Chains A and B, each alone.
Chain A
Amino acid sequence: MNFSEVFKQSNQLCKVSPNGKYLATCVQYRLVVRDVSTLQILQLYTCLDQISHMEWSSDSLFVLCAMYKRGLVQVWSLEQPDWHCKIDEGSIGLVSSRWSPDGRHILNTTEFHLRVTVWSLRTKAVSYIKYPKACQKGIDFSRDGCYLALAERRDCKDYISVFVCDDWHLLRHFETETQDLAGLEWSPNGCVLAVWDSCLEYKVLLYSLDGRLLSTYSAYEWSLGVKTVSWSPSSQFLAIGSYDEKVRILNHITWRKIVQFEHPATIDNTKATVYKEVERRPAVPSDELLLHNITMGSTLFNTQSKYEICELPVQIPLVKPEPDRANPKIGVSVLAFSSDSRYLATKNDNMATAVWVWDVQKMSLEAVLEQTSAVRCFQWDPQHPRLALCTGNSKLYLWSPGGCVSVQVPAEGGFQVQSLMWHCSGNSLILLGKEQLCLCYMETEQEEQ
């Protein structure tokens, strides 16, 4: 594993282009585009204000930079650095901005979710979509880029509008049977739309592309409900994570629950491997060593850690959330399927230091990774069944079916890995710190334990 040098970035804005060749990062009000393999700066653009959001267009030719405070969106071209485009939302304000799948339209959501403005970069035409809903995930493009599903709220009722992205023609508009729609997501094959209600009611609705209600699923009443929903890449399974610390998986044929994964505090009676991160504190240094360490960039604070396999039963540290707070830190909040749909990684919020990996084929627990501090971010490799995770310290953790490894990020002054993302080829990882970023190239897999 090779690590690149550390670069500056701000606001955790760092994205790889869809074709995998370029890396765009934001440093305050500048947009820096680098080549992924050499990390040389190819282009440098200056925006009018601090960039709040940055996104690549689908053809990797343009980059969108949104400045929410000023209500501006600037688009830069990679091929023609002189080309410029500026969208000013005016007094109506800007809350979010995104590309359309064809890379020629920009959808801006105005402040207070008054409307969604669709700007065409081809014709400078504007279209408006009224009454968009402000919720966890109110807008989603299908994976093939043909359709847009938008959640709307009119007269205290939830609706969904399906648009054809080609010419923004309204294909379907139907009411949903939700109390308060919290989110919607297209299945990877683009034929089914999963819609879920807010946490006050456990309800997951499945609509077909033409607006027919296929099925409703509700696991229980009254207690807090759905926290997160995720489709498997093969569209065969829909995983629902809820506040009762369980994950329920529905199958795409009958839309009924086929299995329920629980996250108990005491793990017993499974064939899963429990990896526990064990830190090895360095020996107390003598005076000479201290000086030496300081000159070497202070590896004194970098404790070595490795994974140990624990014998069952294992106790996972629990943190009980405050009972009277809203949105309690309990329940499964993150679900991620691996790219081959073989594994599912979950995180239970009241056991924040543990990541659970489930084998979807066998429908059983495969591994549990217990870290020393709360897991901040984890992501699957887009090509191989490999999970990378970080916990806010200077280490990178990798899990694969063969084993688990903990790698120290070699950076001066300590690099706290706050989040990470994989390159689309699966050959490298981008690690984001607070103000820094670093690339990790996977060459040969070193697997321990």
Chain B
Amino acid sequence: MPEVPLVKDVRRSSVECRTPPLRQFSLPSLLLHRSPHTLRAFCTEQNVQECLSHINQEVSSLGLPPVWSELDSSSELNNVSVLNCMYDLIQLHHRSLRTLENMEVEQIKLSSNVDYLKLTTGHLKEQLELSKRENTGLLERERQLQLKVKSLQNCLKNEKEEVQKLQSIISSRASQYNHDMKRKEREFNKLKERLNQLLADKKERKQAIDVLNNMGRADGKRSLWKTEKTKAKHEGEMYKTLLCDYDSRQRELVLENAELKKVLHQMKKEIAATLRLRKLSLKGEKPDLGGTQAASEEEEEEMFDSSKESVELNCVHAREKLTNSIRLQWRKLKSHVERLDSQVFLTQAGESTNGDAVPRETHEEEMERLKLEIQQCKDFIQTQQQLLQQQLSSPCDEDAATLLNDGYMLQEKVRLRDEWKILEEQRKIFEKERKNFTEAAIRLSHERKIFEEDRATWLKHQFLTDETKVSSLLAPEKLIDCHLDAASSTPDVSLTSPSVADLQHKLSLIPENRSTKPKRQSEDTNDLCGNDHLQDKQWTDSEDLSSHSLTQEKNCTI
């Protein structure tokens, strides 16, 4: 059937272009849809009318005149219209193919355009990047050049300043040179004038000295001739002065050196000591122990060396060793202190690590120990105080001691009482004797008065009897002397009045003695035994004297 290939084509193209209208059909038409080989399924002898109407619909929808109209009663198809329709369809198809081709071509063109554009954009981006980089590079170079310009400007300024300074220096030097030159020229001119003057001058005033008399040397020595010996002596003296100066300076420096060395030694010892202490307190820091151990070994070595060092005062080696060891130890100490500082900082910050706990613990331990010590001391003090209180307050706590004390007290009391008694007795005796003596004194004074009166009468008598004798003034005195010699106890005979005065003195003294003695006795009663003997002796003496005087008076009266 000729319709079949056409239908096949239609089907194929309709499969490609449109699918939706075929869904209206029943299943078998859908199955037909799948492959062009099952074409016959669309139109069978049963559904010709349906196919016709469907085709009509389709054709009319495409805008072509209808193939079949229901008005025709014949079931046969109008071949012309069908052919026309087919022709139209073919034309449509060609057209669509053509448009398809065109569109494909267009699409290809567009895609190539797109590719091309992509390529160009890629290229342009790269170019943009490149140019950006170049720009930054150029900016950088510009900046560097500006810096260079600035530095060069600075250099220029400096150079200008230096040039100015040098110019000022040159100008000052030039002015100095000019000044000096002018001065020299002036002097030269003066010299020339003077030379002219001297050449012109007829008489030349010579130099002369006019001294009244030659003076001696200031130090009085005689002056010496200038000889080789004196020259050598001068040289010697000069070198001596220099040597003395160097000597003194060297001594000063040696002293200074010794002091400084001492200070260094001390420093070393102290640093070593502090390091050792630190080592003991910080046991947790093991890595350092090794270091400190080494250091301690070194220190011990150096301890031995220090004795040598004191001997080798000028040895450079020893000095270097000393300074190096001090430097080392100082560095250690410094690092140690830094570590401690950092630790302290950490503890302050609040972090607790193993390293931190150790010092705190030791610190607390120390605190505890100290507190304990304080407590102990306090207790000790308290007990001591208590004991002291006991000692002072109640002595009857210890019976034996108190008994002893009482015994001692009683003994003393008894002794004192006895002595008091003795003293009382003595006082009474003294009172009695005082009374006696006062009575004696009164008697004596009476007797003395009588004696005086007697003497006066006797003198008068003598004077009257010796009036006839032509006597010098001395005679009565002599006589008086002779008479009184016997009376006087003292050997000096020169004058009457002294002997009488002596006598009087003695007489007057004795009652005074007597009167003073009781007083003294009363003062002495407070003293314990010892003074009694003395006082007795005094009494005996006074008694002797008084008896003696009484006998004298007795003699005189005769």
Contacts and interface: CB of A to CB of B under 8 A. Distances in A.
Given A171-B238, A209-B241, A126 B209 contact: yes
Given A122-B215, A169-B230, A327-B179, A91 B223 contact: no
A164 interface: yes
A253 B207 contact: no
23 contacts: A82-B212, A83-B212, A85-B212, A91-B205, A102-B219, A104-B218, A112-B191, A121-B215, A122-B216, A122-B217, A124-B214, A126-B207, A147-B238, A167-B224, A190-B241, A191-B245, A222-B166, A222-B169, A224-B169, A224-B176, A323-B171, A326-B179, A327-B179
A324 B169 CA distance: 10
Interface residues of B, number: 49
- When A and B form their complex, which 7 residue pairs have the shortest distance between CB atoms, in order from nearest? A326-B179, A90-B205, A191-B245, A90-B207, A85-B211, A102-B218, A91-B205
Contact of B215 (A104, A208, A223, A253): A104
A181 interface: no
A35 interface: no
Given A164-B234, A209-B238, A209-B241, A326 B176 contact: yes
Nearest to A134: B187
A124 B245 contact: no
A200 interface: yes
B205 A102 contact: no
A126 B180 CA distance: 33
B551 interface: no
A363 interface: no
B214 A112 contact: no
Contacts of A58: 218
Interface in B463-484: none
B27 interface: no
Given A59-B218, A171-B235, A191-B241, A88 B176 contact: no
Interface in A23-70: 58-59
Contact of B242 (A87, A91, A209, A323): A209
Contacts of B237: 146
A91 B241 contact: no
Given A210-B238, A326-B178, A327-B176, A87 B209 contact: yes
Contacts of A166: 234
A102 B234 contact: no
A58 B169 CA distance: 45
Contact of B210 (A82, A85, A103, A117): A85
Contact of A208 (B207, B234, B235, B242): B242
Contacts of A91: 198, 201, 204-206
Interface of A: 58-59, 82-93, 102-104, 111-112, 117, 119, 121-124, 126, 146-147, 164, 166-167, 169, 171, 189-191, 199-200, 208-210, 222-224, 252-253, 323-328
A82 B211 CA distance: 11
A325 B175 contact: yes
B209 A124 contact: yes
A61 to B, nearest CB: 9
A327 B173 CA distance: 10
B141 interface: no
Contacts of B206: 90-91
Contact of A88 (B178, B204, B208): B208
Nearest to A326: B179
Nearest to A110: B207
Interface string B165-203: 010110111011111100000010011001000100100
Nearest to A58: B218
A113 to B, nearest CB: 9
Contacts of A123: 214, 223
A85 B211 CA distance: 4
Contacts of A171: 234-235, 238
Interface of B: 166, 168-169, 171-173, 175-180, 187, 190-191, 194, 198, 201, 204-219, 223-224, 226, 230-231, 234-235, 237-239, 241-242, 245, 249, 253
Contacts of B239: 210
**Looking at chain B's contact residues, is the secondary structure mostly helix, strand, loop, or mixed?**
helix
A122 B253 CA distance: 45
A323 B168 contact: yes
Given A111-B194, A191-B241, A191-B245, A102 B217 contact: yes
A122 B194 contact: no
A59 B219 CA distance: 10
B528 to A, nearest CB: 65
Contacts of A88: 205, 207-210
B172 A323 contact: yes
B67 to A, nearest CB: 121
Nearest to A147: B238
Contacts of A147: 238
Contact of B217 (A86, A90, A93, A104): A104
B178 A121 contact: no
Contact of B223 (A84, A122, A124): A122
A119 B210 CA distance: 11
Nearest to B205: A90
A84 B212 contact: yes
A74 B353 CA distance: 97
Nearest to B248: A189
A112 B188 CA distance: 9
A323 B168 CA distance: 8
A321 B226 CA distance: 54
Contacts of A126: 207, 209
Contacts of A86: 209-210
Given A102-B218, A210-B242, A112 B190 contact: yes
Given A85-B210, A169-B234, A209-B241, A324 B171 contact: yes
B172 A224 contact: yes
A209 B249 CA distance: 16
Q: Which of A88, A91, A189 has the most CB of B within 10 A?
A: A91
B207 A89 contact: yes
A83 B213 contact: yes
A388 to B, nearest CB: 32
A124 B207 CA distance: 12
Given A191-B245, A210-B238, A167 B226 contact: yes
A286 B204 CA distance: 69
A84 B238 CA distance: 36
Contacts of A222: 166, 169, 173
Nearest to B190: A112
Contacts of B245: 189, 191
Contacts of A210: 238-239, 242
Contacts of A111: 194
B252 to A, nearest CB: 10
B336 to A, nearest CB: 34
Q: Which of B215, B242, B249 has the most CB of A within 10 A?
A: B215
B235 to A, nearest CB: 7
A121 B237 CA distance: 25
A119 B175 CA distance: 40
Nearest to A166: B234
Nearest to B165: A223
A325 B217 CA distance: 50
A357 to B, nearest CB: 27
User: Which residue, of B187, B213, B219, B241, has the highest number of chain A Cβ atoms within 10 A?
Assistant: B241
Contacts of A224: 169, 172-173, 176
A386 to B, nearest CB: 28
Contacts of B204: 90-91
Nearest to A187: B245
A169 B211 CA distance: 24
Nearest to A221: B169
Contacts of A325: 175
A117 B190 contact: no
Nearest to A80: B212
A147 B238 CA distance: 9
Contacts of B198: 91
B210 to A, nearest CB: 5
B221 to A, nearest CB: 10
Nearest to A83: B212
